[in-house]
């Protein structure tokens, strides 16, 4: 593919907070061709480059006009099947999850059309998300769930704007085997790094069934 035309947007700094990344974008229209065939226009695309300090690689670029999809979990994988099934239930049968209420919907699936947004800088929000989820786990799974080797899993994730503290009750909390929950959490962190999902970036969650 070759870029037939393109524009460079200026680098910006989102704020004066220490550690906030420098960002820049390049938008282009591309063409693809195979010898002896008519070239095909691929349409508008673009990429974003950043110098964020919190991913494993401190600098990198991503095609930011494409939808980011986290699809590393499978209900058939015994290492993360409990977390995977929890997400499936929250996305497809939200009224059966806790807290339970009629007409409940949960964001994050592609079919919902409502992506999740990563939270990195706002540690208070992340803490509040988890605290609310823990209250729900204690209410429905017993105050002693942690002593039974269980973690309080939450979807949407603690690290998203749409977490349990969003005050709309569009979340699910479930006590799961600790090793399963922590393995899924590591996978999510690897996705954030691999795809350079920065603070406020949107993404969808797909579980393989």
pTM greater than 0.85 (yes/no): yes
The predicted structure's pLDDT at residue 2: 44
143-163 tens-digit pLDDT: 999 999 999 999 999 999 999
- CB-facing half-sphere around the CA of 45: CA atoms within 13 A: 14
Domain boundary among 62, 83, 101: 62
31: left (phi over 0), alpha (psi -120 to 50) or beta: beta
The predicted structure's pLDDT at residue 65: 85
87: domain range? 69-205
* One domain for residues 45 and 87: no
pLDDT on residue 160 = 98
Contacting residues for 125 by C-beta, under 8 A, at least 6 apart:
119, 161, 163, 165
| Measured distance CA(109)–CA(147) in Å, rounded | 32
115/198 same-domain check: yes
* 84 in the same domain as 34: no
Please check whether residues 40 and 137 belong to one and the same domain.
no
User: In this structure, are 85 and 50 located in the same domain?
Assistant: no
Whole-number pLDDT of residue 30: 78
Does residue 58 share a domain with residue 74? no
Q: What pLDDT is stored for residue 208 in this prediction?
A: 97
Angle between helices 81-92 and 178-194 (to 10 degrees): 70
115-140 pLDDT, tens digit each: 999 999 999 999 999 999 999 999 99
Q: Which of 44, 62, 80 is the last residue of a domain?
A: 62
- In this prediction, residue 6 carries a pLDDT of 54
Give the chain's residues under pLDDT 70. 1-20
Q: Are residues 136 and 50 in the same domain?
A: no
């Amino acid at each position: 593919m070759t870029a037939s035309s393109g524009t460079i947007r200026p680098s910006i700094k989102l704020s004066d907070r220490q550690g906030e990344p420098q960002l820049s974008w390049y938008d282009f229209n591309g063409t693809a061709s195979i010898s002896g065939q008519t070239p095909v226009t691929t349409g508008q695309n673009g990429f974003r480059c950043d110098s964020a300090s919190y991913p494993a690689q401190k600098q990198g670029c991503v095609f930011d006009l494409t939808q980011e999809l986290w699809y590393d979990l499978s209900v058939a994988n015994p290492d993360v099947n409990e977390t995977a099934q929890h997400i499936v239930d929250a996305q497809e049968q939200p009224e059966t999850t806790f807290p339970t209420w009629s007409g409940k919907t949960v964001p994050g699936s592609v079919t919902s059309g409502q992506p999740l947004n990563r939270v990195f800088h706002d540690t208070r929000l992340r803490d509040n998300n988890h605290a609310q989820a823990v209250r729900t786990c204690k209410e429905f799974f017993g105050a002693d769930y942690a002593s039974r080797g269980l973690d309080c899993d939450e979807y949407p994730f603690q690290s998203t704007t749409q977490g349990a503290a969003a005050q709309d009750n569009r979340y699910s909390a479930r006590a799961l085997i600790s090793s399963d929950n922590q393995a899924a959490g590591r996978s999510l962190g690897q996705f954030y790094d691999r795809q350079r999902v920065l603070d406020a970036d949107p993404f969808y969650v797909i579980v393989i069934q």
